[in-house]
Structure 1
Amino acid sequence: MIQIPEKTIPAFHSQTILSLNTQKVRTAKSSQTILQLNQNLRSHSPAPTIASYRHPTFKNIVQKGQKIALFTNSVSPSVDILLGWNVKKTACDVDVSAFLLGANQKVLGDSWFVFYGQPQSPDRSVSFETLSTNQCEKIHIQLNQLNSVVQKIVFVLTINEALTRNLNFSMIEHAYIQIIDSNQHELVSFPMSDYYESVTSMMIGEIYLHNGIWKFHAVGNGVKEDLAGLCRRYGVNVS
């Protein structure tokens, strides 16, 4: 059972989320709530800055709603999912998460959720990394090691404490997702086009298996939920 009393960043195994948020904290915290943990983490992190990055050059841009095959004749053994954004309001602190889903559109288990508090999937095929460039994070995927039950990986941007601080995606700009193959060639990129006042968590894109082929879907839609709500949506056991 996982406790997420506020939109915060959990980490999971057989214990509750509040005992395993170790990536940014450095040491496990077992007696605090996730909200307290998240506040502690961010007190040691630099505050977001406005227009703090320049997005990369995009070569293979797709539009919102478009679906495209990532590979034609051969599959790259690995891909890097790069995600970046700028904030128009400095209070917005954006986080990246990846949900690994089976055919039922639910996670394989509570630990099949990758983000900075739990930086690796159980099969070690998916890992999280914060890049040195501000406002840019990476999800690395070893496709040849990925559990065969995983049929889809959803990439989500969430705004920390959005619900309690009245923050939303109209305060974000220049968000993008870019997929790079193992030869550092861009496969596809999606600069997000729509930023909604009613959205606090954005499903920016997803990769999924279709007839044995990995495809990318430029989603660009979200919900007015915190990370706990998204966990419930994708079948993570939260309290």
Structure 2
Amino acid sequence: MTYMIKGANAPVPAVPLRVAVGRQSVPGAPTVSAAALLLDAAGAVRGDADIVFHHRPVHPSGAVRHVGTGQGAGQLAEWLEVDLLRVEPDVQRVLIVGSCADGTFGQVPGLYAQVSTFDAAVVAQYAVTDATAETAFVLGELYRRDGAWRFRAVGQGYEDGLAGLTRDVGGSGAVTAVAAPAPVTPSPAPVTLVSAPAGFVPAYAAGAPAVGASVEPPSWAAGFFMFEPRVYRGKGAKTVTVDLPFPPNGEPVILEARTEEYNFLSVKIPGREDDVFLSDLPDHYGRQLMVPHRKGGPLTLKVRNSGAWQLTVLPLSAALPLDFGTVTGSGHEVFLRTGPAAELKVRAEDRHKGWFQMHYHWGDTPGDLRRPAKRIVYEWNGRRVREKVALPSGPLLVTIDKSRHQWELTLDAAAPDEPARGARKGWLR
């Protein structure tokens, strides 16, 4: 691991990375919102879509995501994911930005940025020690140099806030919107809390709290099977064993898949007719629900792909939040919706005219999620999908479980006369 001073830079591996923007969890301290800004060779965003934050959590390329907020072990952090292999060639730098809506960064205790790989290896960490009256702050940047990627500890603040940052990088109202406090949602980032030199503020790991730390699962996930994520890698055909003590009749978990050269992936549980994955991953990435055995215990997976692949098994608390506004992406995905009844507008494109299918899941107990879900969108030969569907009040798990499409989901408030069908009670409350 590299502990950095302001202005220093260090190489980072060209792999998917997780970036934490964190601080000490102190009552009354200002709220810090995190964002990533994708800049071209001129040092400017190409449009509002190049600004990724809690209200626009996924970049259209799928390369950058805002994945939530975690708290524990005396720390509070917002997490970003940056898949360097998928960053578009026109993008030369990815800025890691923080903003304060209710104070200045001089009032933020222990501000830091941490960069780590998906298997919890921390590759760079930078503690900000000289913040004063700034209300926007560029903590660091990932940038290209001679065909490789590096991280620089920038430490540049703006006393005039995001207006000053906007002046430097362009963009419009979307930059200003970053300052709105993010909702505190469970983070899917399974990054390990690491040791640090004396006096340095350690970072919080959403999926794996430090030894001795007492971190409660989020309230909507009471009763879930919580575990530290498991990562498996291979090439071609391989059988792997997910060695977790799954409880009998337990709820599904999330299987996240990444491929390198070839999109098509098959993941099958022996003895079952349906595959977990049997499809293209349009951007070499997808997430799907996976149901363990009723008897519980370890789970065997048979994996086939013509190249290198990576599978990550995550608890349901890793579902991405589905909030009002628009989110874009591709392929399979798993969302959590906790708000009131709403209208979901679905737009999707696939030149191959493939299936597109969405469900929502709910239940009174975690085990109820094993039951067949309610199908809300189904398109066979669906080159263009244009649907509006009503979602009942949450919490719900919403899945895109058949798709080679590039999709856009827009959630709007339900009409006043629309019944809030199926208000749910029980384990998700």
TM-score (norm 1): 0.66
Q: Return the alpha-carbon distance in structure 1 between the equivalents of residues 24 and 118 of structure 2.
A: 27
SS in 2 for 1:135: strand
| Match of residue 4 from structure 2 | 62
Q: Distance in 2 between matches of 1:139 and 1:236?
A: 20
Deviation at 1:142, TM superposition (A): 1.5
* 1:231 matches 2:172: no
What is the CA–CA distance in structure 2 between the aligned matches of 1:91 and 1:196, rounded to whole Å?
14
User: Within 5 Å, which residues of 2 pair with 1:116-195?
Assistant: 116-133=54-71, 135-161=76-102, 167-195=103-131
How far did 1:188 drift? 0.9
Question: Residue in 2 aligned with 1:110?
Answer: 48
1:82 corresponds to which residue? 20
Unaligned runs of 5+ in 2: 177-429
For 1:88 and 1:181, how far apart are their aligned partners in 2? 27
Distance in 2 separating the partners of 1:143 and 1:105:
18
Unpaired runs of 5+ in structure 1? 1-58, 162-166
* Residue in structure 1 matching 2:156, options 181, 196, 221: 221
Q: Give the Å deviation of 1:147.
A: 1.1
Q: What are the Cα deviations for residues 94-138 of structure 1, in whole angstroms up to 9, with x where unaligned? A: 111111000000012121100001101111110002233162111
- SS of the aligned residue for 2:165 comes to helix
Structure 1 residues 182 and 93: CA distance shift in structure 2, 3 A: closer
Following TM superposition, by how much is the alpha carbon of 1:228 offset from its aligned partner in structure 2, in angstroms?
4.2
SS in 2 for 1:184: coil
| Counterpart-to-counterpart distance in 2, 1:222 and 1:132 | 24
Task: Give the partner amino acid of 1:85.
Answer: R
CA shift at 1:232, angstroms?
3.8
Contact 1:108 1:150 in 2 (8 A): no
Q: Deviations over 1:3-40 (max 9, x none)?
A: xxxxxxxxxxxxxxxxxxxxxxxxxxxxxxxxxxxxxx
TM superposition shift of 1:89: 7.2
Amino acid aligned to 2:12: L
How far 1:170 sits from its partner (Å)?
A: 1.4
Matched to 2:81, the amino acid is H
- Residues 232/89 of structure 1: CA separation in 2 closer, same or farther (3 Å cut): farther
- Give the Cα separation in 2 of the matches to 1:200 and 1:89: 19
CA distance in 1, matches of 2:5, 2:89: 29
- Stretches of 4+ aligned residues off by more than 4 angstroms: none
- Structure 1 residue 87, shift from structure 2 partner: 6.5
Q: State the alpha-carbon separation in 2 of the partners of residues 101 and 236 from structure 1.
A: 10
Q: Distance in 2 between matches of 1:168 and 1:89?
A: 15
| CA distance 1:123–1:185, change in 2 (3 Å) | same
How much does 1:91 deviate?
5.7
Q: CA shift at 1:231, angstroms?
A: 3.0
How far did 1:214 drift?
Answer: 0.5
Q: How far does the alpha carbon of each residue in 1:140-189 deviate from its partner, in whole angstroms, 9 at most, with x for none?
A: 0112211111100111111014xxxxx32211121111111132211111
Greater Cα radius of gyration, structure 1 or 2: 2
For the residues of structure 1 that align with 2:67 and 2:142, how far apart are their CA atoms? 18
User: Counterpart of 2:97 in structure 1: which amino acid?
Assistant: V
| Alignment partners' CA distance in 2, 1:204 and 1:83 | 8
Mapped to 2, the partners of 1:222 and 1:172 lie a distance apart of 13
SS in structure 2 at match of 1:144? helix
In the TM superposition, residue 92 of structure 1 has moved relative to its aligned partner by 1.4
Question: What fraction of aligned residue pairs are identical, expressed as a percent?
Answer: 25
Per the alignment, in what secondary structure is the counterpart of residue 79 of structure 1?
A: strand
Looking at structure 2, the residues matched to 158 and 87 of structure 1 have their Cα atoms a distance apart, in angstroms, of: 16
Kindly indicate whether the alpha-carbon contact (under 8 Å) linking 2:29 and 2:108 is maintained by their aligned counterparts in 1: no
Structure 2 CA distance for aligned equivalents of residues 144 and 101 of structure 1: 16
2:84 and 2:12 mapped to 1: Cα distance? Answer: 12
Higher strand proportion (structure 1 or 2): 2
Counterpart residue identity of residue 80, structure 1: R
Number of residues of Structure 1 aligned to a counterpart in Structure 2: 171
Q: 1:183, 1:130 → 2: CA distance?
A: 18
What secondary structure, in the 3-state scheme, does the structure 2 residue paired with 1:183 have? Answer: coil
SS of the residue 1:103 aligns to: coil
* Post-superposition offset of 1:212: 1.1
| 8 Å contact kept, 2:135–2:162 | no
Counterpart code for 1:174: G
